[in-house]
Amino acid sequence: MDSKLIELLVCPVTKGPLIYSKNRDELISRSARLAYPVRAGIPILIEAEARVLRDEELER
């Protein structure tokens, strides 16, 4: 993903910053405890599509 695009995107739930995880191809919202998928280079910023993060994932 383009780093400039990531800087512009925010979590739709908290309006907080997102962190790109290259390993899982997801955008992480630590404040919402959600991971939004990126499919074919397109971020899917829909809460219903997001994966809930486990405690151990947030500690990293």
Task: Give mean pLDDT, residues 40-47.
Answer: 95
- For the segment 43-57, the average pLDDT, to the nearest whole number, is 95
Q: Count the domains in the chain.
A: 1
| Residue 1 in this model has a pLDDT that exceeds 80 | no
Q: Which CATH number do you get for residue 39?
A: 2.20.25.10
What does pTM read for this prediction?
0.90
Contacts of 52 (CB under 8 A, 6+ apart): 33, 34, 35
- DSSP for 39-57 reads ETTEE---GGGPEEPPHHH
Predicted confidence (pLDDT) per residue in 10-42, tens digit: 999 999 999 999 999 999 999 999 999 999 999
For residue 57, the model assigns a pLDDT of: 85
| Residue 2 confidence (pLDDT) | 83
Tell me the β-bridge partners of 34. Answer: 29, 52
